[in-house]
A and B are shown apart, each in its own frame.
Chain A
Amino acid sequence: MGMSVLSKLEENIPSLRRYAWTLLRNSSDADDLVQECLLKALDRIDTLRAASDLRSWLFTIMHNLYVNRWRRMKLRARLAADNAEAELAVGPSQQASAEIQDVLRGLSTLTEEQRQIVLLVAVEGFQYGEVAAMLGIPVGTVMSRLSRARDRLREFVEGRERPLLRRVK
């Protein structure tokens, strides 16, 4: 395993951590998922066809781990969100703005698929076709879920959902 492969893997760790955290909203669970993903990637590095595919290849591995093996984490994350215990912090020294808190609250009301898609597109910057391949679904499905996710989150960011959410809590 050459050093160049390792450093290319390393370059992707910050975005893997970001995606894992936005999915799980728990830092230690997220890093456990990333670690599992990296170990799997190290085991399978010879199945990577081209270095240019590395990032979406890594995200595919992590997606599969998340879906197939982290169901309990997923449930925990949802439970945490329901209990308003999911991490809202934007860093140890920063205060989360109201908008950020709103969008994170909105995120936990999305379906699992909507959440993955909107994060992969809006935060991680993947093309729609890449997301479709990663998740094993048609591009059309990606687009319709993206619409629903964005419209739903818009309601939170624009404040329309806040009163309702407070009543629920």
Chain B
Amino acid sequence: MTAVERPIGEDELHAYVDGFLRPERRQTVERYLADHPDAATRIAGWQSVGDALREAAAWKFQEPVPATLNIARLAETRIANRWGPWRMAAGVVIALALGAGSGWLARGPREAGAAASASKVAAAANREPGAHPVQLAAAQPAQLAGRVTQGATGAGTPPDLSKSGYRLVGGQVVASGQGPACMLQYEDAQGTRITLLMRPVQKHDTSATQFAESGGGNGGRAPQLAEAGADSGGRVPQFAEAGDASGRRAPQLAEGGGTSGSAPRLAEGGSSGGAAAAGSCP
């Protein structure tokens, strides 16, 4: 035997049929098949099978894609399902929930109820970190925010907390004691997550706190959140030190020029899963 060439393997017969062989090896296989009629018959059969399968399925490939699979519409649906409740928003309630171990933040006894329900929702959602995937991932938060603004007229835009080092990583619609709410998740560079709960409110909704939207008449614009500057003294509602494990400060909530005389001072506390509610009534 003078064979120096690698013997032909069955894998190579498949690769020959599927066109995966390099030209020189392909020629080797062709020589082999010329000398081995049984193998050649088998390979011809495989080729017929492939032709028949491709022919059998070709019509489905060529068929017009039905409207139910329109990708742009599916993408819209995906967004609308999450943000739909906002379309009818008369205002916005925001609750800022800081992760487990954070401080209890509330405006005062009057708001304790609202804050507590917000807290419950957030706490429930945060109970098992990692077990609740972010439903609407925001690979490009700016684009997402734009979408949300358009799609949820009057509901507001997810606040930009980038000055505080937090970026929007996702959100989902969740149930709250006052109906559907939108839970937004932000994350900082260290991976600390905060959850912001937003929900539409009606004018008569007394459970909502009242300070947030200063514009009053421009119904439903989201309260602006901004890094409170050095002059935050007194007027600017400001979240107290979060007291979370990392000891980092929570982003501060600044009012956009409020009409509500004295700014609510958010109390600090030590209980876990805390949340604060803020809101607007046009």
Task: Using CB atoms and an 8 Å cutoff, list the residues of chain A in contact with chain B.
Answer: 1-2, 6-7, 9-10, 13-15, 17-18, 21-22, 27, 30-31, 34-35, 38-39, 42-46, 89-91, 94, 96-97, 99-100, 102-104, 107, 118-119, 121-123, 125, 127-128, 143, 146-147, 150-151, 153-154, 157-158
**Residue contact B61 to A107, C-beta cutoff 8 Å:** no
- Max chain B C-beta neighbours (<10 A), residue from A21, A42, A122: A122
A21, A44, A119, A121: the one contacting B18 at CB < 8 Å is A121
Residue among A13, A89, A100 making CB contact with B65, cutoff 8 Å: A13
B230: chain A residues at CB < 8 Å are none
Q: How far is the CA of A42 from the CA of B71 in the complex (A)?
A: 9
Residue of B20, B42, B56, B60 near A96 (CB, 8 A) is B56
A-B contact pairs, 30 of them (CB 8 A): A1-B140, A2-B140, A2-B143, A6-B75, A9-B71, A10-B65, A17-B61, A18-B60, A21-B60, A34-B69, A43-B136, A43-B137, A46-B138, A90-B55, A90-B59, A99-B48, A99-B52, A100-B55, A103-B52, A103-B53, A118-B49, A119-B53, A122-B54, A123-B53, A123-B54, A150-B14, A150-B17, A153-B52, A154-B48, A157-B49
Query: Which chain A positions have C-beta within 8 A of B53?
Result: 22, 103, 107, 118-119, 122-123, 153
Q: How far is the CA of A15 from the CA of B74 in the complex (A)?
A: 18
- Report if A35-B68 is in contact (Cβ < 8 Å); known contacts: A1-B140, A122-B18: yes
B63 contacts A by Cβ under 8 Å? yes
Q: Which of B46, B56, B63, B72 contacts A150 (CB 8 A)?
A: B46
What is the CB-to-nearest-CB distance from B175 to chain A, in angstroms, rounded to a whole number? Answer: 20
Say yes or no: B69 contacts A13, CB within 8 Å: yes
A146 to B228 alpha-carbon distance, docked (Å):
65
Bound together, the chains give a CA A89 to CA B58 distance in angstroms of 11
Find out whether the CB atom of A103 lies under 8 angstroms from the CB atom of B18: no
Contact of B270 with A by CB under 8 A? no
- Min C-beta distance of A22 to chain B, whole Å: 5
Question: Cβ of A123 and Cβ of B140 under 8 Å apart?
Answer: no
Q: Which residues of A contact B66 (CB under 8 A)?
A: 31
- Given contacts A89-B59, A157-B45, 14 further A-B pairs with CB under 8 A are A18-B61, A21-B60, A22-B57, A31-B66, A31-B68, A42-B75, A44-B137, A46-B137, A46-B138, A91-B63, A103-B49, A123-B53, A150-B14, A158-B48
With both chains docked as a complex, state the minimum distance between the C-beta of A13 and any C-beta of chain B, in angstroms.
5
Contacting pair A100 B56 (CB below 8 A): yes
> Which of B18, B50, B58, B71 has most A Cβ within 10 Å?
B71
Q: Is B74's CB under 8 angstroms from A39's CB?
A: yes
Interface residues in B1-23 by Cβ distance below 8 A to A read 10-11, 14-15, 17-18, 20
Closest chain A residue to B139, Cβ basis: A46
B21 vs chain A, min Cβ distance (A): 12
Interface core residue of B42, B52, B71 (most chain A CB under 10 Å): B52
Known A-B contacts A6-B75, A89-B59, A99-B52; A31 and B14 likewise in contact (beta carbons under 8 Å): no
Residues of A within 8 A of B139 (CB): 1, 45-46
Write the B146-182 contact mask toward A (1 if CB under 8 angstroms, else 0): 0000000000000000000000000000000000000
List of A residues within 8 angstroms of B65 by Cβ: 10, 13-14, 17
Please judge, given known A-B contacts A22-B57, A122-B49, whether A143 and B10 are in contact too, CB under 8 Å: yes
B237 to chain A, nearest CB (A): 33
